[in-house]
Amino acid sequence: MSKRIALVGMPNTGKSTLFNRLTGAGARVGNWPGLTVELLSAKLLLGDSMVELVDLPGLHNLHGFSEDERVARHFIETQPLNGILVVLNTTQLERQLALVLQLKALGLPMLLALNMADEAQHRGIRVHREVLEAQLGIPVRMISAKHGRGVPELKQSLTKWLRAHPEPSQARAAVLSEDDAIESTLDDMLSQSLHIPVCLSPTRTDRIDQVLLHPWLGIPLFLLLMLGVFQIVYGIGAPLQEGLAWLLDEARTRWLSPLLAGLPTWAMSFLLEGLYDGIGTVMSFLPIIVVFFLAMAVVEDSGYLARAAFLMDALMSRMGLDGRAFVMQLMGFGCNVPALMGTRVIRSRSQRIAAMMMIPFSLCSARLQVFLFFTTAIFSPRAAPWVLFSLYVMSFVLAFFTAWLMRSRTRHNTDPMLMELPPYRLPTLAALTRQSFRESGHFLRQAGGFIILGVTLVWFLTHFPLDAAPASSATLAGQLASWMEPIFTPLGIDQLLSIALLFGFVAKEIVIGSLAVIYGAGGDELSGVLAHNLDWIQAYSFMLFTLIYTPCLSALATIRRESGSRRVMWISLGWSLAVAWLLSFAFYQTARALFG
């Protein structure tokens, strides 16, 4: 039987950082028997044994009843394990050690890693490790997962510990009546093994929070920070994108076109104007995507993202929700699908449904690619970040408006939000780089198949029958666009753009690739074509519609699965389409009347 270790800990203890330190880039996501969620796992070589390390959701209490807590408990109780590796935050040991005692009652082998030991030492907190180890009867190691300190020693301890427990075993059920005894034991244990200064001096985190969590200044400062992120994305990413687009154009002109010159006209058109231009145009924006994820990783790893949820908790409570829904909204910046899955941490079904209706308005990385292309092509470098910022603001406004409309169903829920606010930290460059490229790689893996399939279908529709002029009214795409013309003309969206929107229903990643195929141009050439054919009003109307209309098929399928209701899925689809058309119509007609 294969060896398996469960990685357990509270949120914000650095558990995921330790997981990445131990396993590197070999993580995978998989299903487990009896569970309806996917968990992250990876292979880890310990001595001469290959071990599977499974990263469980963060939990505050083994006996809690949130979705994350139930998933973690159910996994521990049902899966054969060689043991449990528990990660705690050393600076919050008095609040977190109870979890170890709860887990110890299950009867499984355990090893405790006290993370952020360097921060505890800096704050004057001393842990008598040997005393704590003797009291618990399990190995205890002091580490700093962020900087890698103590991690090699931890791996050695894991290897020795695994040899002592070579066979997987099942947990025995913990009894809730033991909780009082655990609390008493915890008080005695902490008094002997932990020393905390009577009065902790204000930390750098406390001083920064006085400003960033100010009741009046907090939210405006958050918006300014996001605007700064977009300025950085354009300032660094745009030149890199232009350089990559130039290389792709050069490769097409110098090598690929001569190489394919002997092929039939239709085959050369498909390979160059279809696959190469479509995929190449999408790939040229990968540098900007990398820079965006890098900037967002800085915001998240610094500890500020959790505070954004805290700031928004009061506002969300007026809509019958709490900061957890806002956290999921922020997660949607990367991809709506995992954000929708993350609503499981919300206990109330009505609140989960409301959050699922909000999340599809998040400006995900696929939409970001479309907006980066259009803002770069149509708007000046000074105006482009503001245009992108306005779209992000609009995504929040629509999400909050949706929640406000559903407040009558969610207002009666008073389940409080429980969240640890980690201290501010300077993220390491290595960790930021890994996270940025991991997110970008995930984007490419998720989007790759859709992009290839999409540009192939677009080329077929815009070139069949083969004797018709590409993208003309005689092609299948032209006929389809003529049918949709009455719907999109009032929005300032022409027939060719409407074809791209149709394929965006499958996945927003296809939109830019399909435009490259439709116009028969890629990279800088496509930017020039769009700038010649569209004014800023048409371009913004198109981006506004793209932001709002219909979640992608993957997101719709996730809404159906997570809500357990087709009705919720159809309501989400209909609501987003209706709002997209009405807002784009209002913007285009108003802007055209004012600016001509």
**pLDDT value at 29 more than 50:** no
Parallel, antiparallel, or unpaired for β 126-127 and 194-195? antiparallel
Q: Say whether both 564 and 495 belong to one domain.
A: yes
Within a domain: 205 = no
pTM over 0.85: no
Q: 102-106, 439-443, 566-570: which has the highest mean pLDDT?
A: 566-570
Residue 581: pLDDT band (50, 70, 90) is: very high
Is 310 in contact with 555 (CB distance < 8 Å)?
Answer: no
pLDDT higher than 50, residue 61:
yes
Neighbours of 225 (CB within 10 A): 13
Least confident of 94-108, 349-363, 512-526: 512-526
Measured CA to CA, the distance from residue 91 to residue 123 in angstroms comes to 8
Which of 142-151, 222-231, 370-379, 536-545 has the least mean pLDDT? 222-231
When pLDDT is averaged across residues 345-350 and rounded to a whole number, the result is: 73
Q: How many CA atoms lie within 13 A of 22 on its CB side?
A: 35
Number of C-alpha atoms within 13 angstroms, CB side, residue 204? 9
Question: Does a structural domain hold residue 204?
Answer: no
Taking only the tens place, the pLDDT of each residue in 230-286 is: 778 777 877 887 788 788 888 888 898 888 888 888 888 888 877 887 777 767 767
Residues 164 and 230 in one domain: no
d(CA 577, CA 68): 32
Pair 368, 289 in one domain:
yes
Number of domains in the chain: 2
Task: Clarify whether residues 157 and 42 are in a common domain.
Answer: yes
Lookup result for tokens 């992009």: 451
Q: Is residue 298 scored above 80 in pLDDT?
A: yes
Question: Looking at the structure, do residues 268 and 159 belong to the same domain, yes or no?
Answer: no
Which residues constitute the domain of residue 85? Answer: 3-195
**Do 38 and 110 sit in the same domain of this protein?**
yes
Identify whether 237 is part of a domain.
Answer: yes
The answer to whether residue 82 sits within a structural domain is yes
Q: Are residues 136 and 223 in the same domain?
A: no
Output the pLDDT for position 366: 80
User: pLDDT tens digits, residue range 404-446?
Assistant: 888 877 655 555 556 667 778 888 887 777 777 776 776 666 5
Looking at the structure, tell me whether residues 310 and 275 fall in a common domain.
yes
Picking from 323, 318, 389, the residue whose alpha carbon sits closest to that of residue 540 is 389
Strand 110-115 with 28-31, pairing: unpaired
pLDDT in the model for residue 545: 96
Is residue 272 domain-shared with residue 183, that is, in the same domain? no
The residue ranges of DSSP E strands in 15-147, in sequence order, are 28-31, 38-46, 49-55, 83-89, 110-115, 126-127, 140-142
pLDDT band at 143 (very low <50, low <70, confident <90, very high): very high
Contact call for residues 357 and 290 (beta carbons, < 8 A):
no
pLDDT at position 35 is 45
More confident residue, 176 or 326: 326
The pLDDT of residue 84 is: 94
The Cα 492–Cα 535 span in angstroms is: 10
In whole angstroms, give the CA distance from residue 46 to residue 399: 47
481-490: pLDDT as tens digits: 888 889 999 9
The torsion angle over the Cα atoms of residues 179, 182, 187 and 193, rounded to 10 degrees, is -150
- Could you tell me which residue, 449 or 539, shows the higher pLDDT? 539
pLDDT at 387: 94
CB within 8 Å of 558: residues ≥ 6 apart: 336, 337, 340, 341
d(CA 86, CA 99): 9
Q: Residue 30: pLDDT above 80?
A: no
SS3 string of 322-341?
A: CHHHHHHHHHCCCCHHHHHH
210: in domain: no
Residue 490's pLDDT is 95
Task: Tell me what percent of the chain is helix, strand and coil, each rounded to the nearest 5.
Answer: 65, 10, 25
Identify whether the C-beta of residue 537 lies closer than 8 Å to the C-beta of residue 588: yes
Per-residue pLDDT at 150: 92
CATH number, domain containing residue 51: 3.40.50.300
Average pLDDT, the chain: 81
| Least confident range of 277-291, 344-358, 473-487 | 277-291
Whether pLDDT at 26 is above 60? no
Dump pLDDT digits (tens) for 508-564: 877 887 888 788 776 678 888 888 889 999 999 999 999 999 888 778 888 887 888
Q: Are 474 and 468 in contact (CB under 8 A)?
A: yes
212, part of any domain: no
Domain contains 208? no
**253 and 153 both lie in a single domain:** no
Pairing of strands 83-89, 126-127: unpaired
Tell whether 486 is covered by a domain: yes
Structure token pair of residue 542:
């198109």
Same domain, 113 and 227: no
Tell whether omega for the bond before 490 is within 30 degrees of 0, i.e. cis: no
Give the mean model confidence (pLDDT) for residues 360-371.
86
> Do residues 274 and 377 both lie within one domain?
yes
Q: Which residue has the tokens 């800085």?
A: 298
